Structure 1
Amino acid sequence: MHILFYILVFLVPLSVTSQPSGISKKAYIEYQDAVQLARRMDYKTAIEKIEKLLKKEPTYAEAHAGLGNIYKELQKSGKAIEHYEKAIALKPEEPQFALIYFQLGDYYFKQKNYADSKARYAKYLQLETSSKKISRAVAELMFSNCDFAAEQEKNPIPFYPKKLSTRINCIGLQYYPALTADEKTILFTGRVPYKLPNGVTDWKDENLYYSIDENGLWTKAVPLPGAVNTSESEGTACISADGKTLVFTACGRKDTYGSCDLYISRLEGKIWSTPKNLGQKVNSTAWDSHPSLSSDGNTLYFASIRKGGFGSHDIWKSEKDSTGEWKTSVNLGNTINTLLDDLGPYIHANNKTLYFASNGHTGMGGYDLFFSNQNETGEWETPKNFGYPVNTSENENAFAITANGKTGYFSVEKRNGVRTDSIDIYQFTLPENMRPKIPSTYTKGNVFDAKTKLPLEADLELYELKTGKQSVKLNSDKVDGSYLVVLNEGESYGLFCSKDGYLFKSFNFDYSDKKSFDAKMLDIYLEKLEVDAKVVLNNVFFPTAEYKLEDASKTELEKLVKFLNYNKSVTIEISGHTDNVGKKENNLLLSKNRAKSVYDFLVTQNIDATRLVFEGYGDAKPVMSNETKEGRQMNRRTEFRVVKK
């Protein structure tokens, strides 16, 4: 809970303006002398004076309160509680002691004495009628946290965190993990230890590190190659689903607009490019950090203390416009953001489940981890607490989750008093109730020239076939042709790959029935635009034994229209094919009618009929054996072939 206290002044004034009733003038003067010692941080002498005084004047409530304050400063909670309790026992209705009740509520909460904690917060709310809105909000929140924490501890969830190997936890301090969708790269912030002249360990500036999964084992973490890390601090970063884009926080640079800004860098071959500030539509004149990039690359979530929010730290987002430029950032609203701190966003690969940390929603105290799902209208649902013992009365933050929603990563800090001894990265299996409603998987591979087998930089577009909505648009890597696209359970997708001078290729991923949801390794070979080159239209659909086009075919056919409009001299043959089930004459007629249905659609889209021919081949040209279900499915297809270039 201590993270909340920066908004309140909890120390009851050490001195009082007048001599309390029933207390001798000598005792009053002696107490004022002790107060001056405490203000000079001579706590030892101040304690001795007040304790000696209290032996003579044990009913001096203000002296008990002041002694409690000193012990609080010295982090001796037991002694602080002892004297705070004596103070309120002597003057239970004293408005000046309201904050003592608040402090006691915090102490008891940390001790898991929720009944006494709740009682102290209730008394604070009774006495502090003139509190500012934020202080009352904190007390009311902690009052509800008492019941929540007590109930959670009675019903703990399965939680078995495992510390990652020393190949990851090898820097000194390592925190804020982030992963690519294929879980092959982990990125995190690290700080290297060094010794001060007095022998005390301190930590160097933040830098970004990464590790690669090789045959199931993480390689030893090393700094990111390229121009990202400097002699200043670079940290709290995210990496795109395909591992090609990095957004990170840098502070105090010459081109920053605020104390800390968000920067972007792209992987060029194996080196990260010189970072660029994301600009004033994303960054503010305040502090901006904790970025998380959606898997389609079109939405950036982050935390900021800029004006216009609901609390101190709020979660904001910026979206790309139709030209790929970032739009002015907007607040996520008060379903997510509270009067206190909401930060550390991590958007799941499905782009519909947001994980974040907050000390403003009902929880276990301190920063707790929460998640919220986006409903069909795009609104965020009421956040859900992870529960105990994932969340505790300490601070839980810096959470990341795999695309399949099964594994979470987080950082654990160990302190020695006010000093940080270590921060390490752990992983754990998420219980079912903490997983995203919609898990994700991916397809990845490389794009090549079909003849030369050289890698190609090509355009890739992913569409939801039910709606015709474009989900993702990206380019394969210009060096090795690699790409990765995230796919969500429950959807049917069409993936299209194209490049000038080549025929486009299409692929279908149908995850609507949830029967199979494995990642797909898919290398794409593009055919040069030449006579007799042909392509299967994998997203053209017909009902069984019918030739009327299904609505889901529209996306692919519009791609074909676009191709023909761009290549105006090209003439094509549209061909229909079937498997060998049924009578040959029926299959031949069905295949021809299906080819004609595609032909008719193209004509309605103003494609000159003289550039089109159609034909049905029945089962005469199989591409696989008809002995298997999979083979027959591949043989039932619609193709187009270049007749004239």
Structure 2
Amino acid sequence: MIKRTYILLVAITVSTCHLAASGQDKEEKIKGKHRRIVEEADFFYGLEDHYMSRELYRELIELYPDNMQFNFRLGYSYLNIRNEEKMAIPYLEVSARNEYTPAFYFLAEAYHLNEQFHKALDALDKYRNRPDKQLTHARIDRVEEKIETAMDMMGYPIEVEIKKLGDHINSDHQDYAPNIDPEGEFLYYTSRRPESTGGFRDPDGNYFEDIFVSKCVSDSWTAAEPLPRPINNDGHDANVNFAPSGNRMIIYRTHKNMISGDLYISDRVREGWSEPQLMGSKVNTPNYNEPSAAFSPDEQEIYIVSDRPGGFGGKDIYVIRKLPTGEWAEPHNLGREINSPFDEDAPFLSLDGQTLYYASMGNGSIGGYDIFRSSKDELGEWDDPHHLGYPINSVYDDIYFSLTADAKRGFLSTSREGNMDIYEVNMLYETEDLVVIKGYVTDGETKEVVKGRISITDRLTGQEMVSVIPNTVTGKYVAAILPDKNYTLHVNAEGYESQEKKVKIQVEEKGEFEVLEMDIQLTKVKGK
């Protein structure tokens, strides 16, 4: 669930409310009949209710257009409201011309969001040289690095095609958290549109979250439809992750207080989806926040995001492995290589389980959340994260990245054009060749679906390269492997004889993508 996904402003340690009414009177006499408006505006500003403070300070600016405090607070309110951040600039400029120190810092943030990087650096430099500044030089250096990195990256965009999906996917409201299935056929995501189950709104006027799905037919997306009950109910229901097999989905639901929430899991059944069940205490905590999670391809690991104690700062990514008993082990923090002193969120595993994609506000972000990837080394450890670059990332929030099996098409949610919307990314640069193996696992006699597990090993080293689970309703499996190697495909299912198939795949030309279809028919163990 997204409570706020827009740019989170660094808090100045001295309250921005310190311009008291008495100081304000010295600057400009406030008429008695307007004092009630000032008191109301100050009250909502202190509560960080940016919508109410915006309305009241707009009214005061009409009456006192040159008032330094009113201009600053109106600018600050705009800067914290999605789609209105750029409107902060003229008001913060008025406050900065009146030499109000915090205005220089927030003006740098506003210029950065408007991609006016030289102006942003100039405003930040003025803030740095103010004798009454409250932020440390280290904090200022980090903001400067963010601005300079954005300038550099936007000067050298990577070779991708990025496009906002049409009105069959996006609405006039918030649409985010896309999850694409391995073959790029179904797109699940969260939306806050009027069709939400129950039709309720939150205090900010946004509709409650529901999960929607769209199907790609002849390279076009069908009109998205909400998932029926029991997935969507009258509260908040947000898409988190679908297992690559399509067997399970994780959703986020709020508590009755509509503030905190937990992760739930639902299983695919022939009729649709089972009633979501609360995930256990290894995943959810009573006093902390777990907003997102992701399955590994074999569903033997789950990567969760949590702000529980013991992390490296903000929200961190943890891995929880399934024990032989079927229970989940204790969460293990992925460490400093992945987690920064700032927030991480929205993990996603590639189909071979070797690459982790996630969003971070640290690690060299150029603004808000940016998308990074990390790959496993020969020892199975995650290497240093790699920034996906511009235009996949922007100065706004870019989050919830998911990828098809061939690694050629990605989907993300971003607020770069105002609302949080869903975009498709087509990789034009040369990517690592992958071969997708897919097919159906069935009973050789009855042709009924068999529940099992498929493991693909390197015949030379004996190392398991990927393990996947077929869909329990359709029997379909999808796996991705590197070409030009010899593999053995192992199929195991309870009550059936194990089966092995030798697979050798060669790609003739670099950049060529192949699909190998391999149906598997199993034989029951005699006597069962």
TM-score by length of 1: 0.66
Determine the C-alpha separation between the residues in 2 that align with 1:98 and 1:162.
40
Instruction: Describe the shift of the 1:2–1:239 C-alpha distance in structure 2 as closer, same or farther (beyond 3 A).
Output: closer
What percent of counterpart residues are identical? 25
Deviations 1:139-194 (A, max 9, x none): 22211122212222322334432343544447964321112222232211223327
Is 1:108 the equivalent of 2:111? Answer: yes
Counterpart in 2 of 1:323? 325
Instruction: Describe the shift of the 1:440–1:272 C-alpha distance in structure 2 as closer, same or farther (beyond 3 A).
Output: farther
Instruction: Describe the shift of the 1:236–1:126 C-alpha distance in structure 2 as closer, same or farther (beyond 3 A).
Output: farther
Instruction: Describe the shift of the 1:324–1:69 C-alpha distance in structure 2 as closer, same or farther (beyond 3 A).
Output: same
Counterpart in 2 of 1:607? none
1:69 to 62, 73, 77: 73
Counterpart in 2 of 1:30? 29
Determine the C-alpha separation between the residues in 2 that align with 1:502 and 1:74.
63
Instruction: Describe the shift of the 1:370–1:184 C-alpha distance in structure 2 as closer, same or farther (beyond 3 A).
Output: same
**How far does residue 432 in structure 1 lie from its aligned partner after superposition?**
2.8
Q: What is the RMSD computed on CA atoms of the aligned residues?
A: 4.0
Deviations 1:411-447 (A, max 9, x none): 344877xxx5xx54321212437x5xx5544323223
Is 1:432 the equivalent of 2:429? Answer: yes
What amino acid is the match of 2:185? K
Counterpart in 1 of 2:522? 526
What amino acid is the match of 2:425? F
Matches for 1:284-303 after TM superposition, within 5 Å: 284-285=285-286, 286-303=288-305
**How far does residue 280 in structure 1 lie from its aligned partner after superposition?**
0.9
Instruction: Describe the shift of the 1:440–1:250 C-alpha distance in structure 2 as closer, same or farther (beyond 3 A).
Output: farther
Instruction: Describe the shift of the 1:190–1:252 C-alpha distance in structure 2 as closer, same or farther (beyond 3 A).
Output: same
- Structure number with greater Rg is 1
Deviations 1:252-310 (A, max 9, x none): 169x9x92222222212252122222211122221212222222222222322222222
**Which deviates further from its counterpart, 280-289 or 339-348?**
339-348
Counterpart in 2 of 1:556? none
What amino acid is the match of 1:429? N
1:462 to 444, 456, 463: 456
Contact 2:439-2:477 within 8 A present in 1 as well:
yes
Instruction: Describe the shift of the 1:263–1:131 C-alpha distance in structure 2 as closer, same or farther (beyond 3 A).
Output: same
Instruction: Describe the shift of the 1:302–1:491 C-alpha distance in structure 2 as closer, same or farther (beyond 3 A).
Output: farther
Contact 1:50-1:67 within 8 A present in 2 as well:
no
Is 1:205 the equivalent of 2:208? Answer: yes
Gap regions ≥5 residues in structure 1 = 20-25, 55-62, 89-96, 531-566, 568-645
Runs of 4+ in 1 over 6 A off after TM superposition: 16-19, 31-36, 194-198, 512-516
Contact 1:374-1:380 within 8 A present in 2 as well:
yes
Determine the C-alpha separation between the residues in 1 that align with 2:58 and 2:172.
39
Is 1:353 the equivalent of 2:355? Answer: yes
Counterpart in 1 of 2:440? 446
Structure with the larger RCO, 1 or 2 (CA within 8 Å, 6+ apart): 2
What amino acid is the match of 2:514? D
Matches for 1:244-259 after TM superposition, within 5 Å: 244-252=247-255, 259=260
Structure with more helix by fraction: 1
Contact 1:15-1:32 within 8 A present in 2 as well:
no
Determine the C-alpha separation between the residues in 2 that align with 1:450 and 1:232.
45
Determine the C-alpha separation between the residues in 1 that align with 2:488 and 2:315.
40
**How far does residue 463 in structure 1 lie from its aligned partner after superposition?**
2.9
What amino acid is the match of 1:68? F
| Equivalences, count | 494
Contact 1:210-1:224 within 8 A present in 2 as well:
yes
**How far does residue 216 in structure 1 lie from its aligned partner after superposition?**
4.7
**How far does residue 251 in structure 1 lie from its aligned partner after superposition?**
1.7
**How far does residue 461 in structure 1 lie from its aligned partner after superposition?**
3.5
**How far does residue 496 in structure 1 lie from its aligned partner after superposition?**
1.9
Counterpart in 2 of 1:333? 335
Determine the C-alpha separation between the residues in 1 that align with 2:470 and 2:59.
71
Deviations 1:609-642 (A, max 9, x none): xxxxxxxxxxxxxxxxxxxxxxxxxxxxxxxxxx
Name the SS of the counterpart of 1:267 in structure 2: strand
Contact 1:490-1:511 within 8 A present in 2 as well:
yes
Gap regions ≥5 residues in structure 2 = 42-55, 80-86
Contact 1:445-1:521 within 8 A present in 2 as well:
yes
Determine the C-alpha separation between the residues in 1 that align with 2:222 and 2:433.
27
**How far does residue 388 in structure 1 lie from its aligned partner after superposition?**
2.6
Counterpart in 1 of 2:266? 265
Contact 1:282-1:327 within 8 A present in 2 as well:
no
Contact 1:247-1:291 within 8 A present in 2 as well:
yes
Determine the C-alpha separation between the residues in 1 that align with 2:253 and 2:272.
19
Name the SS of the counterpart of 1:398 in structure 2: strand
1:242 to 245, 256, 260: 245
**How far does residue 49 in structure 1 lie from its aligned partner after superposition?**
7.0
